[in-house]
Structure 1
Amino acid sequence: MRITKCLLPVLAVTATATALAGCSNGTTPGDRPDIPLTGTHWTLDALTVEGARKTAPAPRRAYVEFKPDGTATGNAGCNRFTAKAAITGDTVTVGEVTRTEMACDKAVQDFEDAFLKAFTGKLQAKLGDRDRDRDGASATDIGLGRLTLTTPGGDTLALTERPPAPLKGTKWSVETLLDGKTASSLPAGVKGRPHLTIAADGSATGNLGCNNFTATVKAEGDKLTFDALAVTRRMCTTLQNGLEQKLYGTLSSGPVTYRIENDRLTVTAQDGSGFGALATAP
């Protein structure tokens, strides 16, 4: 995976109608508190460009998170990105952006390009609750689930707050293979096949790329320990066999470290190998 740097323009986000109304009551822009965008995972539901509505090709989801340390991180639909992001009053200033350059399907890449193009410059923000949009949302509505960003040209980005997916009860579809600090997408011939689900009772089922497996798994802290995997004996292609050996090796290597970042699961063995998976179903 190659890391490149590019410069995204300043992103200005304007607060809700109520905050703006405060200016007419004797306050100034500098008096307004910083808009509380941090601590929320904003998932992009749809992008409207020149009147045409675009949605991210399944199962990928574009998202952005503003961190307390003054950075913004996210995924544009295919590639991850990070940038410095200073929040002052109702303005977010995004500096130099570093993003990955993973090869992705054309439909996914096209959506990412459209998202990054719209997600620049000055954006008017409307914050509201998850169930309905309301003009003049009060301060109690902020962070309750819905954010709409509108560009000067009228294009819009509709985002929704999304809680982290639970480890258990979620179907995790494997998307990438890890080798130390390097991540690579699955080959076209095995995409969409490997997955893992851990039930509430600790039983695990899934697919390694060709054959199905079952096991029991113990979760302690940030560690998962799988017992011996029971695997079916289906004849597989050379490509599928290669993938199965890697995934089997990770799950059978003893305690592995896992991390959940909203709807993404990363599993890493002690030697640095592992996989990344996306939550695709409850």
Structure 2
Amino acid sequence: MRLVAVLLLAAALLTACGGGTGGPGVSGGPDLSGEWQLAEGTVDGAALPRPSGTTATLQFVAGEVRGVAFCNSYGASYRNGGTSLSVGEIGRTEMACAPDVMAAEDAYLGALAAVDTAALDGEDLVLTGGGVELRFTPVAPVPVTELVGTRWALETLLDGETASSPVGETATLELFGDGTLTGSTGCRDLTGRFTIEGDVVRLTELSAGTDDCPADVAAQDGHVVTVLGDGFQVSVDGDQLTLGDPDGRGLVYRAERGARPATSADLRGEWVVTELRRDGVPVPLPDLEGTLAVDDARLAGTSFCNGFGARYRLDDGRLELEDHLTSLMACTGDVARAEGVYSRVLTADDPRATTSSEGLVLTGDGAEVHLRPRPPVEAGDLVGGTWSLQGLTTEAMGWAAEGEPAVLEFTADGTFRASTGCRSLAGAWQLRDEQVTTSGPAGEGRCPEELREQDAHVTDVLEQGFTVRIANGRLTIRSPGGQGLEYSSP
């Protein structure tokens, strides 16, 4: 069994910022890397309390010491040189736990603030100073593969010594390799994002649907959201996943194996085709990409050559499409054969969607389309060339770009250059979670009347900030207001 601390540690939640102690030194001191768990501690000879079912952890990352102090997450700057160590002002989140847990947290953080020496004793890390001795043991890293790529089904709720079975629809939890997570409470869907640094997982987002829960499921819904949202510990033992928070609440999940009917929560997101079959025979994938993007009510994508879109309903894995539209470009060769398989599934009388730890499969009329989640766009995917504007879109229509070639260039130093077809623009950019924010787009030049609408459209999108997607060698930009730009690859 392996243990990993899972923290909800957002800078905005910290009650204090690190003081002016500066960053860490590296002058011959002990190796502080990795995560450490408090094994024992004393202050002036008296043992530090360590409440049952809780733990205190420690990790030195990027100039910051952080961890869990039995209940809350904490963080501070630190400085070390040789064996000396000083910890800056400690900030922490503000969860309320049982009185004995809060007392232990205060004692631990007070002791940590007093240490001035760090040394290794065998495999243990020992921090001392001012009558304090804190002994930590290393926490073995949890392989990402034990948590990611498995769909977990809730089978037990824990509250102290009490265990109960779940009610309502099957409550699930699934973490994906692109840093997203999905799940459900038994009556509401969950979505979020997480990051993994070594053996530490951080929930950076967690949101729940707005559906009302039946009275008999409402308490379970609150229990699941509380455990997931307040920071928790995770243990993986075979096909069993156990989550627990400092107040003794917990969740026990069991891994789901094999394919099963997909739910709407399974479908939501962006997918890339990885395999095609027709009547059981593999069909070669062309150089172009097949895609699928799904939200709560609509799906859209490219079937290697043409684009498609439809409203959908999903009932026990049966996929019903309404208002199905597709473009009518002529395709040839491998592209036409691949498109034929994808289109055959979408137009089948009874298409089905199943999911497993390996991804999503759409089937119908003897055809199969296998998909995996789309990897997120990274900054390096945008820089290094000139993107050429091909079209402009709104939620209702699209049209081709006109005028002089309109281009967009992102540079590694955080600046961008663009043109609208009649004017030049320049500014700064930053990418986070496929969302580009810009600052200071400044334009030069004048536009003829027939290009002013295009100029305004491009300028509005670049000024507002936008999401980015890359598929089939094309960059698609969408603003929060639904305006879009389509660029071809450098």
Partner of 1:45: 39
Displacement after TM superposition at 1:116 (Å): 1.8
Correspondence for 1:114 among 107, 114, 121: 107
Check conservation: 1:257, 1:269, Cα contact below 8 A: yes
Displacement after TM superposition at 1:225 (Å): 4.8
Write the distance in 1 (CA, Å) between the matches of 2:58 and 2:141. 14
Partner of 1:205: 154
Check conservation: 2:17, 2:76, Cα contact below 8 A: no
Check conservation: 1:39, 1:65, Cα contact below 8 A: yes
Partner of 2:97: 104
Alignment of 1:74-223 (within 5 A): 74-129=67-122, 145-153=123-131, 155-166=132-143, 202-207=151-156, 211-212=165-166, 213=170, 217=174, 219-223=176-180
Write the distance in 2 (CA, Å) between the matches of 1:61 and 1:168. 24
Matched, 1:57 2:51: yes
Gaps of 5+ in 2: 1-11, 159-163, 210-224, 238-490
Write the distance in 1 (CA, Å) between the matches of 2:48 and 2:114. 20
Displacement after TM superposition at 1:3 (Å): 4.1
Write the distance in 1 (CA, Å) between the matches of 2:146 and 2:135. 28
Gaps of 5+ in 1: 14-29, 130-144, 171-197, 230-242
Displacement after TM superposition at 1:217 (Å): 4.7
Check conservation: 2:83, 2:118, Cα contact below 8 A: no
Write the distance in 1 (CA, Å) between the matches of 2:173 and 2:110. 45
Matched to 2:193, the amino acid is T
Q: Deviations over 1:216-260 (max 9, x none)?
A: 85733323455xx7xxxxxxxxxxxxx764xx421xx5xx43334
Report the identity percentage. 27
Matched, 1:277 2:255: no
C-alpha change, 1:45 and 1:216, in structure 2 (3 Å) is: closer
C-alpha change, 1:201 and 1:5, in structure 2 (3 Å) is: closer
Partner of 1:249: 189
Check conservation: 1:9, 1:121, Cα contact below 8 A: no
Check conservation: 1:8, 1:120, Cα contact below 8 A: no
C-alpha change, 1:95 and 1:211, in structure 2 (3 Å) is: same
Write the distance in 1 (CA, Å) between the matches of 2:174 and 2:77. 39
Q: Name the TM-score, length of structure 2 as normaliser.
A: 0.33
Displacement after TM superposition at 1:64 (Å): 1.8
Greater displacement, 216-225 / 265-274: 265-274
Check conservation: 1:265, 1:277, Cα contact below 8 A: no
Check conservation: 1:77, 1:108, Cα contact below 8 A: yes
C-alpha change, 1:281 and 1:108, in structure 2 (3 Å) is: farther
Q: Does the residue aligned with 2:89 lie in a helix, a strand or coil? A: strand
Write the distance in 2 (CA, Å) between the matches of 1:122 and 1:220. 38
C-alpha change, 1:266 and 1:5, in structure 2 (3 Å) is: closer
Q: Decide which structure has the larger Cα Rg and report it.
A: 2
Write the distance in 2 (CA, Å) between the matches of 1:37 and 1:77. 24
Check conservation: 1:217, 1:224, Cα contact below 8 A: yes
Write the distance in 1 (CA, Å) between the matches of 2:236 and 2:52. 12
Check conservation: 2:58, 2:67, Cα contact below 8 A: yes
Partner of 2:203: 266
Check conservation: 2:35, 2:57, Cα contact below 8 A: yes
Q: Provide the aligned C-alpha RMSD in A.
A: 4.1
Q: Name the TM-score, length of structure 1 as normaliser.
A: 0.54
Partner of 1:139: none
Partner of 2:16: 5
Write the distance in 2 (CA, Å) between the matches of 1:265 and 1:6. 19
